Amino acid sequence: MIDIPKPEVLTNEQKFALTSVRDSFLAEQDVDISLMHLIQDVAGFKGKDGRSKEGRAVKAYLSEIDFNAIPASEYQKVEKPELSEEQKEFIGNNRGTMKYVEMSRILFSNDQLTSLSAETRMVTDYCKSLDGEGFEESEEEEMLEYKPPKHPDRVLSRINKFILDSGIDKDKINPRQKKNIDKLMGYLHTFRFVHQMSNYDTQTNRDLFESSFVRYTHDKSDLTQEEVDQYIVLSGEVVIASNIQRRVGRLQRLLDDTASDNEGRRISMSLVEAISTAQNEYNSCVNRQHKLLSDLKQKRSDRLSKQVHENASILNLVETWKEEEGRKELIRVAELRKKVIKEEINNLSTMDDVKARIFGLSDEEALNG
């Protein structure tokens, strides 16, 4: 019997990318839908073609979503349009404040463009070719929906990533650590956590939020649903505080660069007020964090103390029960001993020989008097 190799299994990211190309094509956008491009560039299977197991997996998924790619022999590549000088100027003026896809939708007057569209890729390539302004690529990429880890090893890797010297060795995990890891995986799968993570449009904010939540909860396997929600709120406050600090930094740099003329002084006063407002927001955010963290610690401490007290009461009851059982057993043994001794006494009292010896009489004396 010939074994037929099973097709490669596509990841959710690969499926999302292929579906996005299909959606762009159906929206009459200029996208490359050749099978070779979908296998090698979109799905990321470099050097593979439609005859490989990876290529068969791509074709199988395309069939599931009712999308037929064009074979390489039939595909004719469409030349990409070039950016005009006005478009390049617009990109240069806005690339630090707008996303690639946002600029593409404005430049080409098409709200249906995605990060995979040819126009967006063209804008992206031009942005990356420019120098200066400290542009952060991660700030401009369109973020996908957050996928929580589904295996304890992935959860452990996050713990070790965000917590230095966590004390957890993958090869020597004790039962308590395993329970904490399993519980943390459950916390990361709650709808509210996934929703909050997906709302952040930068990887920096996602990492900050996730790291804060992991640091707060990785060693707490006894949290209630209410407490998990509160830790999510607390982690969100950490992100808010960080963004306020970043805003204060930008405002402070603008204030330092303001000219000294009358117009500059008016701008400076506005900047000073904006900085003051932002600093007040930051202080309020930090105070909320301290209050929320203190409340969470107090609630958990009270709950654990109550559990300890209840457990102590149960232990005392068990000890008392054991003592009662012991007393009953001793009484039972004593009663048995009394019963045995009484039976022996009765047996002895019926023996004439024993009686005679007790009274000091010999056989002759007993017969003859």
CB 184 within 8 A of CB 218: yes
In contact, 206 and 176? CB cutoff 8 Å: no
What is the rounded (10 degree) CA torsion for 129, 131, 133, 136? Answer: 40
Classify each residue of 194-229 as buried b or exposed e, where b means 16 or more C-beta atoms within 10 Å of its C-beta.
eebbeebebeebbebbbbbbbebbbbbbebeeebbe
What DSSP line would sit under 70-98, residue for residue? BPTTT--PPPPPPPPHHHHHHHHHHTTTS
pTM listed for this prediction: 0.48
In the chain, where the domains are located: 1-78, 85-139, 152-311
pLDDT digits (tens, 9 = 90+) for 213-245: 999 999 888 888 899 999 999 999 999 999 899
Helices (H), 165-261: 175-188, 191-199, 203-217, 225-257
- Which of 103, 155, 135, 120 is closest to 24 using CA atoms? 120
* Closest by CA position to 78, among listed 18, 33, 24, 22: 33
Listed in sequence order, the residues at least 6 apart from 199 whose beta carbon sits closer than 8 Å to its beta carbon are none
Short-list 136, 107, 133, 135, CA closest to 205: 136
pLDDT digits (tens, 9 = 90+) for 124-160: 888 888 765 444 444 444 567 788 888 888 888 889 8
Tens-binned pLDDT, residue by residue, of the chain (369 aa):
344 444 457 887 888 788 777 777 666 566 677 778 788 888 888 878 777 888 888 888 887 777 766 665 544 444 556 788 888 888 877 776 677 877 888 888 887 777 667 788 888 888 888 765 444 444 444 567 788 888 888 888 889 888 888 788 878 888 888 999 999 999 999 999 999 898 888 888 899 999 999 999 998 888 888 999 999 999 999 999 998 998 888 888 887 776 555 555 666 777 788 888 888 998 999 999 999 888 888 888 888 777 766 665 566 666 666 666 766 777 777 788 777 777 766 665 555 555 555 555 555 555 554
Residues 295, 310: Cα–Cα separation, whole Å: 22
CA atoms within 13 A on the CB side of 306: 6
Amino acid at 259: A
DSSP 123-177: HHHHHHH---TT--GGGTSPPPPP----SHHHHHHHHHHHSTT----TTS--HHH
